[in-house]
Amino acid sequence: MSSSFGTLFRVTTFGESHGGGVGVVIDGCPPKLPITIEEIQRDLDRRRPGQSAITTPRDEPDRAELLSGVFEGQTLGSPIAVLVRNTDARPSAYEDFKDTYRPSHADYTYEAKYGIRNWQGGGRASARETIGRVAAAAIARKLLASTAKVEVLAYVKQVWTITADIDASAVTLAAVESNAVRCPDAGAAAAMIARIDAARRDGDSLGGIVECVCRGVPPGLGEPVFDKLEADLARAVMSLPASKGFEIGSGFAGTTLTGIEHNDPFTAAGGRVRTLTNRSGGVQGGISNGEDIVFRVAFKPTATIRQAQQTVDRQGQAVTLEAKGRHDPCVLPRAVPMVEAMALLVLADHYLRQRAQCG
C-alpha cells in the first residue's frame, strides 16, 4: 500500500480512523527552518471535527505531538514525525454493519484488493488519515512563506447548487474563516449553511466545490512532460477522500471560448513578464508563470447518510443499511484545509526540486 507522497519534500502518513492515532513522517525538509507546534496546531484546528453544527460531532482535540526532527524551535534536516492520538473513537458504532458494504464507500473495493479491511470507520480510507497531510503541510507552508513568499488559500466556492461570487485575487483568510462553511461570500454562506443543516436533519448529505488560490508562486516550478505542475496538483487533490473532479484556470468553461478569447496576452510590468488575463490559472506548459495559480476541486456528497439504503453483505445477500456513527452532512468546510495542504505539499516539493536543479 502506498502511503507516501512527494519527491524531495516527501511525506508518509500512518494510522487508522479508530486506531490508537494517526500521523506523518516528513523527510526532506531543509534544516534551520523555524517551526513551532502552535503553527502545526493552527492548521489542524481548522481541519478537526466538531467545529460547528454542520460538521461531524466527533469530539477530537487533535493535539499534535512532535516526536522528532525539531530542536530548539528549528528543523534539524532529519525526518520530522508528528503524532495525533485518537481520543474519541467509537468503533462499536460500526459493528452492526461490519459485514455490510456501505454504498459509495471503500468497503467493497478495499476488501476486493486486500482480502481484509478495518470496518471501524473506514480505516485508512477515512478522512481522518488527512491529519498527517495537514500537519506536514503546516511545515510546507512555513517553508514556502519564508523562502518564496508563497501564500495558499482555499475556500468553499459551491455547495449543492448554491454558488458564491468570489474574486480569487482578493479573498482573505479572515473572510474565509468568518463563517462555519468557510465561504467568503457572506450571502452565499448563509444559504449554504441553511441547506447543509436541512440535509443533516433529513439524514442526507451534500457535495460541492472548493476553490484554491496560490499567490506568489515564482515562475519556473513544474516540468514540461510527466511532472507538469497542474498534473501533480490534480494527482494530489484527487487523492483526498470524496474528491471527484479537478480543473485549473478556465477549466471546462474554457472549451466554450475560441483561441483568441482564451489566450493570455503577455505584457511587461516593472521589468517582469506578466499576463493581462489568467485563464491559464497560473500554469502554462506544465510550468508556473508567476501569476496566481487558481484551481477547483469537486467533492461528492458524504457517502454515509442516515436514510435507509439497499446494499449487500459479504455473502451477497440483499440487506437494508441504516448507517450509524458521526459524519459530516457536507465535507466542504473541513475539506478547505485539506485542499490547501495538498497544494502546499506539491508546491514545496517542486520548489525544492527547482532549487536543486537550477539553483
Q: Which pLDDT tens digits describe the chain residue by residue (359 residues)? A: 899 999 999 999 999 988 899 999 999 999 999 999 999 999 999 999 878 888 877 778 999 999 999 999 999 999 999 999 999 877 777 787 789 999 999 999 999 999 999 888 788 999 999 999 999 999 999 999 999 999 999 999 999 999 999 999 999 999 999 999 999 999 999 999 999 999 999 999 999 999 999 999 999 999 999 999 999 999 999 999 999 999 999 999 999 999 999 999 999 978 899 999 999 999 999 999 999 999 999 999 999 899 999 999 999 999 998 876 668 999 999 999 999 999 999 999 999 999 999 87
* Distance separating alpha carbons of residues 206 and 208, to the nearest angstrom: 7
Looking at residue 298, its pLDDT comes to 98
Task: Look at residue 49 in the predicted model and tell me its pLDDT.
Answer: 80
What pLDDT shows up at residue 68?
98
Give how many domains the chain has, as a whole number.
Answer: 1
Please report the pLDDT score of residue 285 as a whole number. Answer: 98
Confidence (pLDDT) at 35: 97
Q: CA angle 334-338-340, nearest 5°?
A: 120
How many whole angstroms separate alpha carbon 350 and alpha carbon 223? 9
Task: Give me the pLDDT at residue 323, please.
Answer: 74
Residue 81 pairs in a beta bridge with: 25, 68
Count of CB atoms within 10 A of residue 138's CB?
A: 25
pLDDT of 327: 80
CB 349 within 8 A of CB 7: yes
- Structural domain including 59 reads 4-358
CATH number at residue 103: 3.60.150.10
Q: What is the value of pTM for the model shown?
A: 0.96
Residue 89 confidence (pLDDT): 73
| 147 beta partners | none
Residue 325, pLDDT score: 63
Which residue type occupies 122? G
